[in-house]
Amino acid sequence: MERPYDVTVIGGGPGGLAAALKADEAGAHVLLIEREARLGGILKQCIHDGFGLIRYGERLSGPEYVERFTDSFRQRTIACLLQTFVTAIDQRKDGFLLTVVNAHGVMEYRTKTIVLATGCRERTARQVAIHGTRPAGIFTAGTAQHLVNLSGQMPTKRCVILGSGDIGLIMARRLTLEGAEVAGVYEVKPEPSGLRRNIAQCLEDYDIPLHLSQTVTRVFGDSRLEAVEVARVDSSMRPVPGTEKIIGCDALILSVGLIPENEIAETLKVPMDRGTKGPVCNSDFMTCVPGVFSCGNALHVSDLVDYVSESGELAGAAAACYRPEADCKEDVPLLPDGSLQYIVPQKINVHDGKETVLYFRSRETVTDGTFVIEVDGKELFVKHYRNLRPPEMERIKVDFSGSGLREDARITVRIRQKEGAR
């Protein structure tokens, strides 16, 4: 058996590539495992621009953005297994034993640490309750994106899009540019789920109607979709009888949410956060299983890839420096109140001598809100936001080192709303 790796990264998207590069830069012996034939993750199919604005100050396409990482990855000759699946991970005294399978057969690799960078997957038709038949023509937005951008096939001539998530908005524009008619985007919530810039650039610029507080209630068609029924919903998101309308279309494109992909984490019994559906981790992006790190969309769904790369770099660098004697018991939980959907990382190490990167989402739209972190009742960090919206993830850096953090400290996090503002 080969000498053990210091860091094994599972997933070769932007998160995993950033983690592998940083771990290699820190002098670690690194292996990256990817199940697909090419590195780059989901960005291979995201041919529109807008990637890298924060990191590079440039508007890159997905493939252009990720090429910057794959180029460095190849130059550094980091060990990489493509078209390879991890079938089992056993925890050992000195690390982990990975069993993988690929065209060469079944192999085993030893590693001191693991970085989980497995990305996320889309919610499918089976996860949203729509009545009717199950004809062909119901796609997730990502599948439609794959068909149009990578396979050169048009999945529709006239479609309805359910959900106003970013991928659905991007596909509304893409399908319109390719000659399809998008009859409308239907969103069950009273507010769009996607970024404001995507509402403007993908719908408003192309006169594609967005119908809020409306949903698809039924599909029609035998072998192929022929129409969908849409209806208004009440404040509890229940369809309002009498408001139904039938729309003729040959495809229903679903953009109804992304779920972090964490099957491997679950086999390792990594505790999960119900808010993010990703692992609970500390300020080194280490999960509660020592030696197992998490980053990118596997950790929590980011709306910008720039932050996926950042979390990958932080996790990769920390994995490279990991010492088994590091004790997770010295992690103090952050206690968000109901004003936040979530905050990541969820724990701070008492010995953290550096600024900690934190990502959070508000639960509701807030105007004139103040984000506050208190340690034992004393304000440590305060930031004012003119607007906070659940679809727009926020990123901050907080220095906990001056707060004299102890293991029994109580760190509370909340968004204080200005009186009368909403």
Question: Residues interacting with ligand FAD, by CB under 6 A?
Answer: 10-16, 33-36, 41-43, 46, 51, 85-86, 117-120, 122, 142, 145, 167, 170, 258, 261, 264, 296-298, 304-305, 308
Burial environment of residue 42 by CB neighbours within 10 A (0 to 12, 13 to 18, 19 or more):
buried
As measured in angstroms, the least distance from the Cβ of 169 to ligand FAD is 9
As measured in angstroms, the least distance from the Cβ of 175 to ligand FAD is 14
Q: Which is nearer to ligand FAD, 145 or 156 (CB)?
A: 145
Q: Which is nearer to ligand FAD, 214 or 255 (CB)?
A: 255
As measured in angstroms, the least distance from the Cβ of 44 to ligand FAD is 8
Q: Which is nearer to ligand FAD, 201 or 367 (CB)?
A: 201
As measured in angstroms, the least distance from the Cβ of 103 to ligand FAD is 14
As measured in angstroms, the least distance from the Cβ of 35 to ligand FAD is 4
d(CA 286, CA 312): 11
As measured in angstroms, the least distance from the Cβ of 118 to ligand FAD is 4
As measured in angstroms, the least distance from the Cβ of 258 to ligand FAD is 5
Query: Which residues does residue 187 pair with via DSSP β-bridges, in sequence order?
Result: 212
As measured in angstroms, the least distance from the Cβ of 312 to ligand FAD is 7
- What the block records as the tokens of 174 is 């893409």
Is residue 225 within 8 Å of 132, Cβ to Cβ?
A: no
| Residue 93 CB neighbour total at 10 angstroms | 5
As measured in angstroms, the least distance from the Cβ of 318 to ligand FAD is 17
Query: Which residues does residue 184 pair with via DSSP β-bridges, in sequence order?
Result: 160
As measured in angstroms, the least distance from the Cβ of 262 to ligand FAD is 9
d(CA 70, CA 66): 6
Q: Which is nearer to ligand FAD, 116 or 348 (CB)?
A: 116
As measured in angstroms, the least distance from the Cβ of 17 to ligand FAD is 7
Q: Which is nearer to ligand FAD, 91 or 124 (CB)?
A: 124
**Cα distances (Å, whole numbers) of residue 263 to 76, 89, 122, 164, 278:** 30, 11, 15, 27, 10
Q: Which is nearer to ligand FAD, 30 or 308 (CB)?
A: 308
Q: Which is nearer to ligand FAD, 146 or 363 (CB)?
A: 146
Q: Which of these, 319, 322, 321, 312, lies nearest to 39 by C-alpha position?
A: 312
Which residue type does 207 have? D
Question: Which phi and psi angles does 368 have, rounded to 5°?
Answer: 55, 60
Q: Which is nearer to ligand FAD, 119 or 184 (CB)?
A: 119
**Cα distances (Å, whole numbers) of residue 226 to 133, 178, 255, 342:** 11, 21, 19, 40
Is residue 170 within 8 Å of 201, Cβ to Cβ?
A: no
- What the block records as the tokens of 306 is 């720039």
Q: Which is nearer to ligand FAD, 180 or 264 (CB)?
A: 264
Q: Please, which residues have CB within 8 angstroms of residue 413's CB and are 6 or more apart in sequence?
A: 334, 335, 336, 337, 340, 343, 360, 371, 372, 373, 374
Question: Which phi and psi angles does 181 have, rounded to 5°?
Answer: -105, 125
Q: Which is nearer to ligand FAD, 309 or 403 (CB)?
A: 309
Q: Which is nearer to ligand FAD, 296 or 336 (CB)?
A: 296
Could you tell me how many residues make up the chain? 422
Question: What are the DSSP calls for 284-320, one per residue?
Answer: TSBBSSTTEEE-GGGTS--SSHHHHHHHHHHHHHHHH
Q: What does DSSP assign to residue 264?
A: H
